[in-house]
Structure 1
Amino acid sequence: MTAIKSKQFHHIPLSVLDLAPITEGSHAGQSFKNSVELAQHVENWGFNRYWLAEHHNMPGIASSATSVIIGHIAGATKHIRVGSGGIMLPNHATLVIAEQFGTLESLYPGRIDLGLGRAPGSDQATAFALRRTLQSRVEDFPLQLDELQAYFEENPAARVRSFPGEGLDIPIWLLGSSGFSAQLAAEKGLPFSFASHFAPDYTLPALNIYRDNFKPSSVLKEPYAMVGVNVIAADTEERAQWLATSQQQQFLSLRRGEPTQLKPPIDNIDEFWDPFERAAIEKTLDSRSTIVGNPETVKQKLESFLNETKADEVIINSQIFHHEDRLRSYEIVAGMMD
């Protein structure tokens, strides 16, 4: 197993994963305004990158047209990297993604990331609506990745070329919640981001697979791993725990197959779930990678998670109902970078 040196927390880049939440009683337009304001604030606070995630058929998530909102955020900021966390590549023709991200990189040079996943980001019926077929296999994803990378290479002899896209240096990341993308990222010599914010039990095994099998490439000489963390920080422990009930309700609605807009916090979550639902959601929102509390608690738990994973970067998701509380949560985390 590869030996990884311990890293100091305040030297680790921190980034943002935004699902563009639509809060109960609101709409997508307000969600996008909130995302712009958050991106502008975290840019000023020193965050490294701002990623948006592709999801479909979910009334509480507005980032389905991921490339479009990436351009909107990049246009409203100055230097923070903006990208996808991620684009679900099997939902799309690789040429279209090459053209979209070639366009984004041409508009905002040196600021665009292309994170790729292989899950549908939705249910089977929605996947069919997106793809018009459900015949794709796990084995197809590496082939799609090869196709996409080829579109970014300069190849005058190719019959089909991506304009814009060809010849542009757009960092490609692989995202995953299991060992498959970890292995593929290692073989391709690409940076890897693990979804530990909803698959905590697989975090260390996936990171070990990635690091132990990494092959240097033209884009990366050593493995570079980023981990996802849910953070809900507030000035008091009590308020943080109260705010966290919005995310708990969100996962409860998904477990019941009834996704909703992001609901406001409630005083007693135990009135809304049974013991089995509670156990399942607490397993998903494990306290190692779902960090809730006051500034001292959050810093201690983030440092502990970093020491455990030896990650090179942390990307933070904060599903918080009130926009002011969401800004404050990221502001608290920003203060830990000093």
Structure 2
Amino acid sequence: MKPLSAIPFSVLDLAPIAQGRTAADAFHNTVQLARHVEALGYNRFWLAEHHNINGIASSATAVLIGHVAANTRTIRVGSGGVMLPNHASLIIAEQFGTLETLFPGRIDLGLGRAPGSDGLTQRALGRDPRSGLNFPAQLEELRGYFRPAHSTQAVRAIPGEGLSIPIWLLGSSDFSARLAAQLGLPFSFAGHFSPEGMAAMRLYRDLFQPSDVLDKPYSMIGVPIIAADTDQEARRQATTQQQKFLSLVRGNRLQLQPPVDDMSTVWNEWERAAVQQRLGAAIVGGPETVRRELESLVARTEADEVMIVSDFYDPADRLRSYEIVASLKHAETPSDRQAGTAVAQ
């Protein structure tokens, strides 16, 4: 197993809106977080496309990526992801071609095939509910726009053509894992909301076929992490995340709620079980608890990179959580040294 010091840490952000605050506050907090984790040495900062969801402001994903990239200097910025069936491939090629031209060498394009919305919103976007079935063909069309144009090509992405923009496939089941393996693309698994599907990580590695993009598999695991100075404080802060998923279970998405001291006053037993199932991969605790559970997660999934998503009501608590996680890479333990020796051999 690789030591944590050898595993890149990255961030997934949805520009969450907390109760009593605005989308403008969310965008300010997103930029503040991006600058913070850049200084801490995080590898990527991704934003996710969602629509018509109270409490999430990252709907115009490419626009927000540009804003974050313009307010940072070195960290990679990208989509985690763009829901490709919601868009024409040419539009995405032009948008990300523009981003890569403005911020060369810093843009990632993560793609999903889910709508990122409900059926009514999907229709409002002008998309066919069955469009996800065409994802492989649409992906190939998109990749074609990034290749150098040929003389008979009637439609070109300008800017876009000839640019080397890393394309990732995102998934919460084995469909994208199989496709990423077949095409030799990097794969990111959505463990932060679909922990029951983690077998897709192994499937991707087992089926991987080398390509001109990768000669060996490269996978990333998304995981919710709530880190604080003590286990007790982390558990209290995690109630904001639990209330978020509870509102999803109840079909009434709320803005981020303040933490509570006792969730038993908020949910019933059935709701508690449903939320805990959705958050089955969540890591909550003080530094040593987070270290131990992160090491276990990396060992089980053989992930090459960890992407962290965190829901906090207070932005200062979120910044502190990412500080704690970053510190784990620099505080070597005996298990790190043993793992490092095994890797070297």
The answer to whether TM tops 0.5 is yes
Q: Which residue identity is paired with 2:222? A: G
* SS of equivalent to 1:99: helix
Q: In structure 2, what is the equivalent of residue 49 of structure 1?
A: 44
The equivalent residue for 2:27 is 32
Q: Does 1:272 align with 2:266?
A: yes
C-alpha separation in 1, matches of 2:93 and 2:254: 32
2:220 counterpart of 1:226 = yes
Letter in 1 for 2:62: S
For residue 133 of structure 1, give the secondary structure of its aligned residue in structure 2: coil
Other structure's SS at 1:232 match: strand
2:75 alignment counterpart: 80
Counterpart of 2:313 (choices 299, 304, 321) is: 321
Q: CA deviation at 1:134?
A: 2.4
Query: Deviation at 1:238?
Result: 1.5
What's the TM-score, normalizing by structure 2?
0.94
- In structure 2, what residue type is equivalent to 1:313? E
SS class of match (1:131): coil
Contact residue 12 and residue 307 of structure 2 kept, 8 A: yes
2:208 counterpart residue number = 214
The one-character-per-residue Cα deviations of 1:53-79 (angstroms, maximum 9, x if unpaired) are 011111111100000000000000001
Amino acid at match of 2:10: S
- Aligned CA distance change for structure 1 residues 161 and 292 (closer, same or farther; 3 Å): same
Q: Work out the CA distance in 1 between the residues paired with 2:130 and 2:225.
A: 37
Amino acid at match of 2:255: Q
> Separation in 1 of the partners of 2:223 and 2:177?
18
Equivalent AA in structure 1 for residue 258 of structure 2: P
Structure 2's unaligned 5+ residue stretches are 331-345
- Give the aligned length: 329
Where 1:228 maps in the other structure, the secondary structure is strand
Deviates more, 1:273-282 or 1:173-182: 273-282
Paired residue secondary structure (1:238): helix
- Secondary structure of the 2:221 match is strand
Aligned match of 1:3: none
Give the CA RMSD over aligned residues: 0.8
For the residue of structure 1 that corresponds to 2:131, the secondary structure is: coil
Once the two structures are superposed, the pairs formed by residues 1-338 of structure 1 within 5 Å of their partners are: 6-138=1-133, 140-156=134-150, 157-203=152-198, 205-286=199-280, 289-338=281-330
Q: What is the deviation of 1:296?
A: 0.9
Query: Which has the larger displacement, 125-134 or 307-316?
Result: 125-134
Q: Under a length normalisation based on structure 1, what TM-score does the superposition of the two structures give?
A: 0.96
Q: Which whole-Å CA distance do the structure 1 matches of 2:171 and 2:132 have between them?
A: 16
Identity of aligned pairs, percent?
60
User: Deviation string for 1:279-311 (max 9, x for gaps)?
Assistant: 11111111xx20001111111111111111110
